[in-house]
Structure 1
Amino acid sequence: MATDPHRLQEIREKVEAGHRLSFDDGLALYASNDLFTIGELANLVRERYNGNYAYYNVNTHINPTNVCVYKCDFCAFRADLGEDRAYTMDEAQVKGRAEEAHARGATELHIVGGLHNKLPFQYYVDVVRWVKEAAPEIHVKAYTAVEYEWFRKIERAPLKDILGRLLDAGLGSLPGGGAEIFHPEVRDEICGAKASTETWLEVHRTAHELGLHSNATMLYGHIERPEHRIDHMIRLRELQDQTGGFQTFIPLAFHPDNSRMDDIPKPSGVMDLKTMAISRLMLDNFPHIKAYWIMLGIKTAQVALAFGADDLDGTVVYETIYHEAGAETPQEMNIAEIRRLIEEAGRIPVERDTLYNRIEREGARWWPGEHIDVPALAGVVR
């Protein structure tokens, strides 16, 4: 049943007053067919937090191995040990990728991969160390909560010790992957063997306590329903109330190709934009909402800058996980193209580093500038 216009007006009044939306408000937004009003409200919040700026960074991905003990239904990236397509990067390959990234002007390396059943935890520590030896200036954003749970299991060590060893090696922050959908009705079916919801939240809580920032994600457009998405957002919002350590929320559109869920169609453009906008409205304590162009597609990501998103991610380079699942976007975008897309959307492009410090460039050189503040977050009324 579509949402009554009077109900949408009630939500508008709460948003304009800076009041927190409830679970029922979120369901009402998903039930509404008035996409443009939802987008208008999300844009109001987006500009309240980030003005007319839209952010991007120059980054490169490293997926050290695709060998994985888990067999999540939605994953097209993983391989079994011994398969022809299985691989594990060595020191020379990791350092080569880091050196190449630095030469291209990258400020971030995004590192995630499979849970290899024969590799010790020290290998994953070494990957971070190799990157920092080859390119000390690059920020290392490494390993999902699912990987940290695996490290704890194979090393038989407390989570703080695991994180501490990686911090010593050069870890700078955590990505948000592995969250998928928190509600057990869905999580148990699509990825029941991997880290639980409670574990995912524990990893990020512990990282925040150690002074690390992290991102958060949600995989949508498969078997979940609106109530599962809203539940997911509220759990993240509650943890952010406690720690303040999340920087960015990234709604990830499901790509079914080459997975065991390839009978499910990809999310529509309406679903993409509605989920982006509702994320911005529900997550009132998250500074940033990212339109990850790799998964959304370039055109939808550009439109999302008017539906609550204030970040397009970056140049990426060497992304394999979502391209294995059928992503038809290019492997990378250059800075000029990203800036053009942002400007066409009526926004001011700002290059940032991982921690949202402004980057100024002259030729191939870069240096940190001022931090980009979002003081309006402190004014949200619960």
Structure 2
Amino acid sequence: MRKLLLIVSAFLLWQCESEEKPSIDGIWRAEVPTLIGPIPFNLEIETSGDLIKVFAINGEEKLELDNAFFKNDSLHITMEVFDAKIVAHVDDKKMTGIYTKKLDNNSNRSGVFSASLGDSYRFIPSSETAEYDVSGKWQVSFTEPEGKVYPAIGVFTQEGNKVNGTFLTSTGDYRFLNGNVVGDSLKLSCFDGTHIFLFKAKINKNRLEGGRFTSSLLYKETWEGVKDENAKLPDPDSLTYIKGGFDKFEFSFKNTKGETISLSDEKYKGKVVLVQILGSWCPNCMDESKFYVKWLKENPEKNVEIIGLAFEKSTDPAFAYPKINKMKKRFGMEYEVLLAGAINKEEANKSLPMLNHVMSYPTTIYLDQKHRVRKIHTGFSGPGTGEYYAQFVEGFERFMELLTVE
């Protein structure tokens, strides 16, 4: 009998030890392979009992991902709003597994995921010296696979070999990029839960040449740039406008409770209204929503309302409503967000026929107290753009002051 008890006790002890969760707290350096090389990015993991929090670290940004938990011997990190996840086996300060992202056509794209605990660098340790300095502004052009060219501005700051910055385009920015000058090359990357951005280019004095860019596992573009402190993009207030033949902006869509909402509702009468065209899948919209939520809290006396028009990967309420509600909860969006249509811009144009086009997610339509369109701002220059974000904030506050005192 005693021998049996000893065997049972040993088995229970082994079972407890085998189910003990590995230590995962700290900074991880992760990689996912792409057509132009592995994308490095950093994750920070914090645990408290069974609670696991995972953050994507990009320069100054610390972005909390939706959910994390252990199942069997693997860590599951889910980005539910973005239909992406990481599932990885953890063993001796290493993780190996799969990164999966659901595409717009409901198919999945997956790549090998690996990570090591304790490494906080991107491409090379920041202690190494750099031969070149890319700080400043760059006039950039990107070329898509089919040959379409679009302009951008690169804005970078460099300390040693470490580079932070982003690219601005007419439809938004590439958020917080972080990387290094490695020899005669500039390398930048970002992971925000849905996008895995990788930029590479050769540095040739005041030029960036032979650039390559990927935003997913199997997509790439080329790019080049020239140093130009006067680099400019088209005016974001001139790109989207009300077409001839339409004398006002109006809509009628349902919220996630199934209630039909329109500008004629009593709640919006006599008020300045911002109509935010967005999607729960859109990181630039995430940055803009954070800004709007903060501004509303700081300016309750302004009597301003915001209405979000969400364009989602599916218009099926069973799919779209949970995404919208998750987004609202995550960013504290207490204003209405309506399901307006599908993400496809042609479909979006049908939902809002008075606009010349829906060029960008996000786009904001500014309506005065009589609900006349006073301005339409295409895209959003988020906090990763530095001085451009500061300029946006200043201009926004000045224009809102004008609208609310008329």
On whether the aligned pair clears a TM of 0.5, the verdict is no
Please identify which structure carries the higher helix content.
Answer: 1
Q: Which has the higher contact order (CA 8 A, sep 6+)?
A: 1
TM range (shorter): under 0.3
Please identify which structure carries the higher strand content.
Answer: 2
